[in-house]
Amino acid sequence: MFTRWRASLVLFLVVVGLGHPVSAQPGEQAVAEAFQRCQAQRRADPAAAARCLEALQRSDPGAKHSDVALYNAVVLFEAGAAPLEARHAAERLVTTYPRSAHALDTLYLLGAMEEQAARFSEAAAYYARLVARDPKHKRAEEALMSALIIQRALGHAAQAIHLGERYLKLFPHHKQRAMEVAFQIAALHEEEGRRVQAERAYRAFLKVWRRASPTARLIEAHTRLGALATSRKKAEREFKAALALHQRLGQPDPAADRAAARAEFLLVEGARRDYEALQLASAGRGVKALRKGLRAKLDALERLHEGYRGVLAYRSLPWSLAAMYQSGFSLEGLVRELQALPLPPGLSPQDQALYRTTLDEQAAPILSRAEAFYQTCVDKAAEAAPFDPHGLPCWTALERVKAGARPVVEFFDAPTPREVLGGVASLRPPSVHPHAVQARQAALKGSCQDAASHAHRALELDGRRAGALAALMVCHHEAGRAGLAQLIFERMLSQGVEPLGAHLLYGALMADAAPEQAWLHVSRAVQLAPEDVSARWALGALSLRGLGPERAVEHLKEAQRLKPGHAPTLLALGVALRHAGSHDQARARYEQVLKLNPKEARAWFNLAVLEQEAGGVQGLQRAIAGYEAYLKADPSDRWGGRVKAEARAERCRELLRAMKAAP
């Protein structure tokens, strides 16, 4: 989308000449000769030829063919690597000659120029003007689609829906693209929470395209319509329609398989709610009644698991992992239900012990089955390369079932977006691009308005400058414009602009809102550059959040090998080692950080937590000293807003008061 217009410049460079009019008016011959003199320079120096044509137009703006001269100036400025002058000349052309035959082509060029400079709102406006002026223009369809994509990325759902509806009116004959636009209109209503409008749009989509061959979008429309339904009967009808369409597919289609797997999964979810409504009514009625009620519940659970096994048949890994997770979670929930049963009244102490023993005997094999489901889920996720992020809930559940994962209370962070922007070499622009350098520096300081100004100016000259694009990605994300951050990320990948930095930065942006997606992008960064310390650090920190300490230790030790004195890696490694049971090694990492920087507040806090857990008089004294050192270090919120410094400090004071009051 960002470079497609460059190919058309080859055509534009066959410059339109004035020729010789049949009956020349006074002065026209002189204009024609001046035009030809300018044109003669275009091979040797396109920018000089453009300035000559621009001067010719300025000398007599009202003369015949002045718009042609200015249009040729636009094209030659672009060919001569003078994008700013090209843009100014183009703006003057559409303003001075709005009815010119070249004004519409120039509007499209302006939209493409603004898109390259990452000024997306302005680009969408130029595209929309082109379509409004002439819906039959050769570029109108492409311009309308570009405006739609940009408005959606901007989060302007109403404008995107309006543009989509206009596309369907103007270009219904382009079947595949029209089908996708119609689907996206319904999806936009759904994303905005407008259930009634979304349901109406999906039904309209299915009505128009019901005679088409089965496609992933048709299957997905039925599935989404079922998810929106207010009654179970209607929902199941749509899910079954989706599955029936899937059976008619002539060849494998991963997107269709994924949509059908979701329909099957949601069908089973209805049965899960029925299962959860069953109560162990045996509570309070003795051991025999307990066993009978449990048998009925297990039979219902087996039918539920049979449904989840049906999801696996569609070969969609994310939904297969979800089915395995729900199978384990339903078993784990039954165990919790058993453990929460009250003792029947009137039991003797001996019968109470028998009752509890019976509960434990029944719960143990059920919990083992839950662990097996979680383990299978993890193994399946691990077969993907890299580890499929949809398996992260299974890792967490497996740790919980095995040993009960202790809560993480220490400081540890994956790289924040600003740390990635400042630390990854591929995102540091060379000094020959001053605006890109200043954009990155302004973004690191949090001055996003300045960052955007410098980034736009850098991208006007070269749309592939990684530092400027990365700075804009961070600033758009911090301003809540996630769609634009994603658009820039996709642009970097499509143009091959520093894919390592792009994946790592986007992973950092997604770490809090979508940790599964963050894992996917950071894993890709490690694949691209196994020796990059930032990528290894990020993967280790994300592993500690979701995959358990052992996997985290593996990645963080590799990051430490790559950069032994990297304090954030040492901090995260200390936390991972502590949770893996290696307290002495964890202490050594924290002490190493403090040798590098005695005022590192995070290390003091983590060390105090470790000493407090060690217990004993000496451990308590060291913990008190650590918490006091943490408070003296005056911790701030400089770690990207993810550490709430005041709340942490207040908690630290409470711990100190409690420990000092202890005998």
Q: Taking Cα atoms as reference points, which of 200, 209, 143 lies closest to residue 176?
A: 209
Residue type, position 643, single letter: V
DSSP 74-96: HHHHHHTT-HHHHHHHHHHHHHH
- Say how many C-beta atoms besides its own lie within 10 A of residue 353's C-beta: 11
Q: How far apart are alpha carbons 552 and 563 in whole angstroms?
A: 16
For 444-449, what is the mean pLDDT?
85
The answer to whether 68 and 16 are in contact (CB under 8 A) is yes
pLDDT for 581? 83
Q: How far apart are alpha carbons 242 and 18 in whole angstroms?
A: 61
Least confident of 185-199, 202-216, 239-253, 373-387: 373-387
pLDDT for 236? 93
Dig out the tokens for 132 from the structure.
Answer: 């409004």
pLDDT for 4? 39
The residue ranking higher by pLDDT, 491 or 353, is 491
For 560-586, what is the mean pLDDT?
88
Question: Is residue 516 helix, strand or coil?
Answer: helix
Q: How far apart are alpha carbons 242 and 129 in whole angstroms?
A: 40
Report the percentage of the chain scoring pLDDT > 90: 27
Q: How far apart are alpha carbons 255 and 377 in whole angstroms?
A: 21
Angle between helices 499-510 and 466-478 (to 10 degrees): 10
pLDDT for 142? 95
DSSP 390: G
Please tell me whether the peptide bond between 515 and the residue prior to it is cis, using omega within 30 degrees of 0: no
pLDDT for 281? 55
Q: How far apart are alpha carbons 73 and 56 in whole angstroms?
A: 10
Q: How far apart are alpha carbons 322 and 393 in whole angstroms?
A: 9
pLDDT for 67? 87
Question: pLDDT for 491-505, tens place per residue?
Answer: 888 888 888 888 888
Least confident of 352-366, 395-409, 488-502, 588-602: 395-409
The answer to whether 447 and 479 are in contact (CB under 8 A) is no
DSSP 494-510: HTTS-HHHHHHHHHHHH
pLDDT for 451? 87
Of the segments 256-270, 415-429, 547-561, which one has the largest average pLDDT value? 256-270
List C-alpha distances in Å: 1 to 142, 350, 456: 9, 77, 17
Dig out the tokens for 279 from the structure.
Answer: 């109560």
Q: How far apart are alpha carbons 538 and 380 in whole angstroms?
A: 23
Q: What is the pTM of this model?
A: 0.74
pLDDT for 161? 95
Dig out the tokens for 145 from the structure.
Answer: 């689609």
Locus of tokens 């302005």: 122
pLDDT for 109? 93
pLDDT for 646? 54
Least confident of 8-17, 204-213, 279-288, 405-414: 8-17
List C-alpha distances in Å: 141 to 116, 163, 165, 491: 19, 11, 13, 21
Q: How far apart are alpha carbons 11 and 13 in whole angstroms?
A: 5
pLDDT for 655? 63
Q: How far apart are alpha carbons 363 and 386 in whole angstroms?
A: 35
Residue type, position 110, single letter: L
Of the segments 1-5, 282-286, 510-514, which one has the largest average pLDDT value? 510-514
Dig out the tokens for 301 from the structure.
Answer: 């659970």
The residue ranking higher by pLDDT, 117 or 658, is 117
Residue type, position 294, single letter: L
Q: Taking Cα atoms as reference points, which of 105, 114, 135, 119 lies closest to residue 12?
A: 105
Average pLDDT, the chain: 81
pLDDT above 90 (res 480): no
Residue type, position 356, single letter: R
For 399-427, what is the mean pLDDT?
63
pLDDT above 70 (res 99): yes
pLDDT for 106? 93
The answer to whether 539 and 389 are in contact (CB under 8 A) is no
pLDDT above 70 (res 572): yes
- What sign does the CA torsion over 133, 138, 143, 145 have? positive
List C-alpha distances in Å: 215 to 173, 176, 209, 314, 318: 18, 11, 10, 15, 20
For 523-530, what is the mean pLDDT?
87
CA within 13 Å, CB half, 240:
7
Beta strands (DSSP E) in 193-275 are none
Question: End-to-end CA distance of the chain, in Å?
Answer: 70
- Say how many C-beta atoms besides its own lie within 10 A of residue 179's C-beta: 18
Locus of tokens 């959040």: 545
The answer to whether 325 and 380 are in contact (CB under 8 A) is no
Question: pLDDT for 8-59, tens place per residue?
Answer: 333 233 333 333 222 333 445 666 777 778 877 777 788 888 888 888 888 8
H-only helix segments in 41-65: 46-59
Q: Taking Cα atoms as reference points, which of 556, 539, 544, 561 lies closest to residue 386?
A: 539
- Say how many C-beta atoms besides its own lie within 10 A of residue 424's C-beta: 25
pLDDT above 90 (res 196): yes
Question: pLDDT for 121-158, tens place per residue?
Answer: 999 999 999 999 999 999 999 999 999 999 999 989 99
The residue ranking higher by pLDDT, 628 or 653, is 628
Question: pLDDT for 239-289, tens place per residue?
Answer: 999 999 999 887 888 999 999 999 999 999 888 888 887 776 544 555 567
List C-alpha distances in Å: 534 to 421, 441, 451, 505, 522: 10, 19, 23, 10, 10
The answer to whether 427 and 534 are in contact (CB under 8 A) is no
For 83-88, what is the mean pLDDT?
88
Q: Would you put residue 279 in left (φ > 0), alpha (ψ -120 to 50) or beta?
A: beta
Q: How far apart are alpha carbons 473 and 421 in whole angstroms?
A: 10
Question: pLDDT for 535-553, tens place per residue?
Answer: 888 888 887 766 667 778 8
pLDDT above 50 (res 292): yes
Q: How far apart are alpha carbons 282 and 66 in whole angstroms?
A: 93
CA within 13 Å, CB half, 550:
4
Question: Is residue 196 helix, strand or coil?
Answer: helix
